[in-house]
Amino acid sequence: MKAPIAEVLVGREELAAKVEDLAAQISRDYEGKEILLVGVLKGAVFFMADLARRIDAPVALDFMAVSSYGSSTDSSGVVRILKDLDLEIEGRHVLIVEDIIDSGLTLSYLLKNLRSRKPASLEICALLTKPSRRRTEIPCKYVGFEIEDKFVVGYGLDLADHFRTLDFIGVLTPEAAAAIVDHEGSLL
């Protein structure tokens, strides 16, 4: 099925170049240290995989699943941990890898939770950020792209679990987005 995209915000080549740039920055900053990348499921999987392969430092991987959206496009403000880390983070250099920072509520909760586990350092790498939607300040050290307040899909980002596997980041047509939300995740 062809994705009903109204606009491509970030193309495949632009994504690859940005991942390469972020990996180089991270490699310099963590020289001589092992990094524990903590991917926030499911959206960060594609970004984290590409980033991890390009970082020139020892890297370990773990994942958390948190939810504040359900199948809607707006955060509910209630954060739940659906899957916790498998690895201990005390004394480790932890880099949270996130697909997008929107309101900041989920990530704020996650930062507090992980800080309480006493990592040696705790930073954030986000592919996308929407400053106009921020409801709480988030200290994000590594940012791929700052975007306008548009609901985006692709490269891990989804709407009701659709369109994650697109190799670019785009905006759905309003009709497609409405149809998906109206039918609780089922495409027409």
Query: Catalytic residue positions?
Result: 102
User: What are the residues whose beta carbons fall under 8 Å from the beta carbon of 126, sequence distance 6 or more?
Assistant: 97, 98, 99, 100, 101, 140, 142, 143, 144
The span from the CA of 10 to the CA of 175, in Å, is 21
Closest CA relative to residue 99, chosen from 62, 80, 73, 124: 124
Query: Is residue 52 within 8 Å of 59, Cβ to Cβ?
Result: yes
